[in-house]
Chains A and B, each alone.
Chain A
Amino acid sequence: MGNLIKSLGAVRYLNQEKIVFLLTVMLFAVFSLILPNFLAANNILSLIRSVAVLGILGLGMLIVVLGRGIDLSLVANMAISVAWSLQLVSGGMSVASAMTVGLLFALGMSLITGLLIAYAEIPSLFATLAMATFVYGFGRAHLITGTDVVYLPSDIGWIIHLGQGTLLGIPTPILVAGAVALIAYLFLRFTKPGRFIYAIGDNFVTARTGGMPVRPMLVVQYVIAGGIAFIAGIVTATSAQAMNTRVVNSNMIYDVILVVVLGGVGLSGGRGNVRNVIVGTLLIGVLMNGMTIMDLQYTVQNVVKSLILLVAIVADSILNPRDEQTGQQGDI
């Protein structure tokens, strides 16, 4: 009995991030044993590569969630801004100007989102939900005039290397995701705005009383997320040779939230870091890759994915019961 309590005590040091990391390691070990070629270097690279875009979007979501917000317009912003850029290139605009226009569109839309949330004080859930619909609807009606899948023009230039090709044997999407992760880490950890985001997410009122520019900071978060969405879109489009605006209707945005929450980032703001997102993304990557090798249909894949999420959440709530401190008001 004493032993049991002791081991339970050890278990208490586990937080969700560690649980998910352990789960990832276990799955990895099992797949390595039962699936031929799973451990091959190429497969590991393709595993990470397949979730690189998800990871990049997860980082955008992280920055918003840390400030106790949520951005449901990430995928819409990504799809429409990049699809429009590609269409402009097909229409004869130079690659550089088309990309600038697309980026400015993404930043502009997320700026509006940020203003709505920070100054009009609309809850982020509703503001971004509405903006997602607006961006998609406006884009489909007025910007993307042909098919809803915009194919990559053949004269796209060096940008194609962001999605295809390798550097030192590593596929470039992984490197792009790594670079975004590093910058996000440095930003959150060492810059004043980065620390402000944590403070605002942890306690909005205290942050404001402490003299932080809370409203401008909220806007900045969403604009950063919009910029990251554009990067994710470029990687998607150049690797699949097309930008499919239909992803806006898919459950991709939930996958993005999934990797963030799975890694242990608190939706109530202020808690979490880049490492959490990486862990969450890797778990999904290992799962998806293993299931593809096992030739499971995607409906079955979705069931397994959601079960894993439930297991992680249940384990977390058993090991870290909610108390007054963790059960903050404003938790989604």
Chain B
Amino acid sequence: MKKLTQLAVTAAALAALTVGSVATRADESTDAFRGPALASLKGKTIAYLPISLGFDLAQAWGGVVKTEAQRYGINFKAQDPNWVTSAMAQGMTSLIAEHPDVIVTQNPDVQSLARLLKQANAAGIAVIQMNMQGAVQTDAYVGPDFVALGEQAAKMMVAKCGKDTQTSHKVSLVEGVPTGGVSFYQIEGIKKVFAENPEIKVVSSQAADWDASKARAITETVIQQNPDLCGVIDVWDGQAVGTGAAIKQAGKQGQVYFVTSGGGAQASCDRLADGTFSTFINYDAPGMGRDAWTAIMTYLQNKQKAGAIKTQIYSPLRVMTKADVKAGTCWDPEQYAKLLR
């Protein structure tokens, strides 16, 4: 009986203790790490300055980062330099003066912003470079390893047009802006593989300036000059639409092996489905947005100096053909564009 009373008292005491502790810590989690993490995020500022807010990649990155920033009480502001490099440099200069905690940006070419990004880091602002890597390394580069991506595309081309095939071995390359990271490093990788496969003849390597119309005009002429063309690599899906149109209009669809790469917006799935693209290397732009967000959280929570840790966050790649296209495989840029409005 005595034992029983003792047990009851102990139980009651325990219950009271538990109730008491729940009452005192009603607004705190049992997760001891959440509080400091949230505190380190709250009230911070992220500035977003891509080359333009008007294209699928920038919309996806910005959309993802903005959604998460808002969830944790971080201020998010975006600027749209609309493809004008000088406006972008100006925007970066004023951002450094405004001193946000993190700048998420994208280099229009390898050099233009390099010095400014270094300044930003020196001023204590973390800098995350998206997709287009500049000549200076900052807290994070988020994007594919474009040299490897170029090598991969070139190897696919060698498989279809190389010495083991009964083809002309003629290949055309469509560059973007030649000094832009996406184009520059990809071409480096492609050329490296082609150097090891001397039977591949590069009949043209021209810049389309990220413009589908230019890509179309260039490819039309190249096919006229080389009716036996075996393959084309275009460094970006945004302009590859034009390249594909030229191949299609020359009646060479299916004969010319066409590889391109991009962030996997709906337009690319459509082009795969209708046979314009033979193979598509997808680096998943919303996934890159998530990587950028991860880099931001890492920086803000660890309270290191800006630029103290420098990471190349290479995006996973997915090689896709027509067979991989299903409803919902690609994403709709409009959905992210809305978030940035």
Residues of A within 8 A of B (CB): 36-37, 40, 42-43, 46, 49-50, 140, 145-149, 151, 154, 164-165, 236, 239-242, 244-247, 249-250, 288-289, 292-293, 295-299
The answer to whether B334 touches A154 (Cβ under 8 A) is no
Give the distance to chain A from B61, nearest Cβ to Cβ, in Å. Answer: 13
Stretch at the interface among B41-49, B129-137, B149-157, B201-209: B201-209
Of A148, A240, A299, the residue contacting B54 (CB under 8 A) is: A148
For B337, the chain A residues whose CB sits under 8 A away are 145-147
Rounded to whole angstroms, the CA-CA distance of A148 and B244 in the bound complex is: 19
Stretch at the interface among B62-70, B107-115, B212-220: B212-220
The answer to whether A50 touches B245 (Cβ under 8 A) is no
Give me 6 A-to-B residue pairs in the complex whose CB atoms sit less than 8 angstroms apart, sorted by A's number: A40-B224, A140-B54, A146-B333, A146-B337, A148-B54, A241-B244
Give the distance to chain B from A132, nearest Cβ to Cβ, in Å. Answer: 14
For A250, the chain B residues whose CB sits under 8 A away are 209, 211
The answer to whether A37 touches B334 (Cβ under 8 A) is no
The answer to whether B82 touches A249 (Cβ under 8 A) is yes
> How many residues of chain B are within 8 Å of chain A by beta carbon?
45
Contacts A146-B337, A292-B218 known; A43 to B213 CB distance under 8 Å?
Answer: no
Of B221, B244, B249, the residue contacting A50 (CB under 8 A) is: B221
| 10 tightest A-B CB contacts, nearest first | A148-B54, A146-B334, A241-B245, A292-B221, A240-B242, A240-B213, A240-B212, A50-B217, A240-B216, A43-B224
Rounded to whole angstroms, the CA-CA distance of A236 and B203 in the bound complex is: 26
Most chain A beta carbons < 10 A, residue from B225, B244, B334: B225
Smallest Cβ-Cβ distance to B52: which chain A residue: A148
Give the distance to chain B from A152, nearest Cβ to Cβ, in Å. Answer: 9
Most chain B beta carbons < 10 A, residue from A145, A165, A292, A297: A292
For A289, the chain B residues whose CB sits under 8 A away are 221
For A247, the chain B residues whose CB sits under 8 A away are 211, 213
B56 at the interface (CB under 8 A from A): yes
Give the distance to chain A from B88, nearest Cβ to Cβ, in Å. Answer: 12
The answer to whether A297 touches B206 (Cβ under 8 A) is yes
The answer to whether B206 touches A43 (Cβ under 8 A) is no
- B window 213-270: CB within 8 A of A: 213-218, 220-222, 224-225, 238, 241-242, 244-245, 248-249, 265, 267, 270
Please, what's the 1-or-0 string for B320-341, where 1 marks a CB less than 8 Å from any CB in chain A?
Answer: 0000000000000110011000
The answer to whether A295 touches B206 (Cβ under 8 A) is yes
The answer to whether B216 touches A46 (Cβ under 8 A) is no
Contacts A148-B52, A240-B241 known; A154 to B206 CB distance under 8 Å?
Answer: no
Smallest Cβ-Cβ distance to B55: which chain A residue: A147
The answer to whether B224 touches A244 (Cβ under 8 A) is no
Most chain A beta carbons < 10 A, residue from B54, B218, B222: B54
For B56, the chain A residues whose CB sits under 8 A away are 147
For B215, the chain A residues whose CB sits under 8 A away are 240
Contacts A50-B220, A292-B217, A292-B221 known; A298 to B270 CB distance under 8 Å?
Answer: no
Smallest Cβ-Cβ distance to A144: which chain B residue: B54
Rounded to whole angstroms, the CA-CA distance of A293 and B55 in the bound complex is: 31
The answer to whether B211 touches A244 (Cβ under 8 A) is yes
For A297, the chain B residues whose CB sits under 8 A away are 178, 206-207
Contacts A154-B270, A241-B242 known; A145 to B206 CB distance under 8 Å?
Answer: no
Give the distance to chain A from B78, nearest Cβ to Cβ, in Å. Answer: 14
Rounded to whole angstroms, the CA-CA distance of A84 and B169 in the bound complex is: 42
Of A49, A147, A242, A292, the residue contacting B206 (CB under 8 A) is: A292
Smallest Cβ-Cβ distance to A37: which chain B residue: B225
The answer to whether A149 touches B212 (Cβ under 8 A) is yes
Rounded to whole angstroms, the CA-CA distance of A149 and B242 in the bound complex is: 11
Given contacts A42-B224, A151-B270, A154-B274, 14 further A-B contacts (CB under 8 A): A146-B337, A149-B212, A164-B245, A240-B216, A240-B241, A241-B241, A241-B245, A242-B212, A246-B83, A247-B213, A292-B221, A292-B222, A295-B203, A297-B206
For A240, the chain B residues whose CB sits under 8 A away are 212-213, 215-216, 241-242, 245
Smallest Cβ-Cβ distance to B273: which chain A residue: A154
The answer to whether A147 touches B59 (Cβ under 8 A) is yes
Smallest Cβ-Cβ distance to A166: which chain B residue: B249
The answer to whether B242 touches A242 (Cβ under 8 A) is yes
Of A43, A249, A288, A296, the residue contacting B225 (CB under 8 A) is: A43
B308 at the interface (CB under 8 A from A): no
The answer to whether A151 touches B55 (Cβ under 8 A) is no
For A148, the chain B residues whose CB sits under 8 A away are 52, 54-55
For A244, the chain B residues whose CB sits under 8 A away are 211-213
Rounded to whole angstroms, the CA-CA distance of A298 and B242 in the bound complex is: 17
B84 at the interface (CB under 8 A from A): yes
Contacts A241-B245, A244-B213, A249-B84 known; A43 to B54 CB distance under 8 Å?
Answer: no
Rounded to whole angstroms, the CA-CA distance of A236 and B245 in the bound complex is: 12
Please, what's the 1-or-0 string for B174-186, where 1 marks a CB less than 8 Å from any CB in chain A?
Answer: 0000100000000
Smallest Cβ-Cβ distance to B265: which chain A residue: A147
For B212, the chain A residues whose CB sits under 8 A away are 149, 240-242, 244
Rounded to whole angstroms, the CA-CA distance of A288 and B216 in the bound complex is: 13
Smallest Cβ-Cβ distance to A148: which chain B residue: B54
Rounded to whole angstroms, the CA-CA distance of A182 and B216 in the bound complex is: 27
Give the distance to chain B from A171, nearest Cβ to Cβ, in Å. Answer: 8
Contacts A147-B337, A244-B211 known; A295 to B241 CB distance under 8 Å?
Answer: no
For B52, the chain A residues whose CB sits under 8 A away are 148, 246
For B210, the chain A residues whose CB sits under 8 A away are 246
Rounded to whole angstroms, the CA-CA distance of A146 and B337 in the bound complex is: 6
